């Protein structure tokens, strides 16, 4: 397994230890099976992005906690550059890069996401109060909000409550690149 899986494993173990949770309790809180959580901790399985979101939600932790070891601070300048990457083979058409990891002062994290041709990714509802902003940087894509797919073209954006099922898809032959800003309010204060 690669370094990201080691980081995911270590983060999951640390969060369980910090809360004093057994694997049973973690499974109950996240909706991810005890067997899967154990496999992730032992680096025997790599979680999909959807599974990571469930784990993050169950632990009431920002998603970027699992894919980067950086913590942002609004008072400190951060230069961020890098390539997007698939987190799991099943997510090969969805590549994510934490442009700015979770910031404890601003209560947000910013991702650069590539949706390859034919990508469709469904996301479970986040906690109440979580707001997403999706801005198309290149190409066009669709966002599922309020049960309806809304088309966004380059330069357009959409803000919505992420506490509902939502999704992202690219029905074109070209890569769509988006910025996804997730604002958690004071949820993690």
From first to last of its 189 residues, the chain has per-residue pLDDT tens of 367 788 889 999 999 999 999 999 999 999 999 999 999 999 998 888 888 888 988 898 888 888 776 554 545 555 555 555 556 656 778 888 888 888 888 899 999 999 999 999 998 888 899 999 999 999 999 999 999 999 999 999 999 999 999 999 999 999 999 999 999 887 655
**Cβ count near 94 (within 10 Å):** 23
Burial category of 170 from C-beta neighbours within 10 Å (exposed 0-12, middle 13-18, buried 19 and up): buried
β-pairing, 131-138 vs 176-183, is antiparallel
Domain boundaries, the chain: 3-66, 89-183
Quote the pLDDT of residue 86: 54
- Spatial distance between the Cα atoms of 56 and 15, rounded to a whole number of angstroms: 10
Whether the Cβ atoms of residue 101 and residue 109 lie closer than 8 Å to each other: yes
Measured CA distances, 51 to 56, 63, 154 (Å):
9, 11, 29
Superfamily the domain 3-66 falls into: lambda repressor-like DNA-binding domains (1.10.260.40)
CATH topology of domain 89-183: Jelly Rolls (2.60.120)
Q: Which residues pair with 178 in a beta bridge?
A: 113, 136
Quote the pLDDT of residue 1: 39
């Amino acid at each position: 397994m690669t370094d990201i899986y080691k980081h995911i494993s270590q983060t999951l173990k640390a969060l369980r230890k910090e809360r004093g949770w057994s694997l049973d309790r973690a499974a109950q809180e996240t909706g991810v099976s005890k067997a899967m959580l154990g496999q992730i901790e032992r680096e025997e399985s790599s979680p999909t992005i959807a599974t990571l979101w469930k784990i993050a939600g169950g632990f009431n932790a920002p998603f970027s906690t699992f894919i980067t070891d950086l913590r942002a601070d609004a008072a400190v300048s951060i230069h961020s550059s890098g390539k997007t990457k698939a987190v799991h083979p099943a997510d090969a058409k969805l590549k994510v890069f934490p442009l700015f990891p979770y910031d404890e002062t601003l209560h947000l994290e910013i991702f650069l996401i590539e949706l390859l041709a034919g990508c469709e990714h469904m996301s479970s509802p986040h906690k109440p109060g979580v707001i997403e902003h999706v801005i198309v940087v290149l190409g066009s894509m669709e966002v599922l909000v309020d049960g309806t797919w809304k088309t966004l073209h380059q330069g357009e954006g959409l803000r919505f409550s992420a506490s509902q099922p939502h999704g992202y898809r690219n029905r074109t032959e070209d890569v769509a690149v988006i910025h996804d800003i997730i604002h958690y309010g004071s949820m993690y204060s």
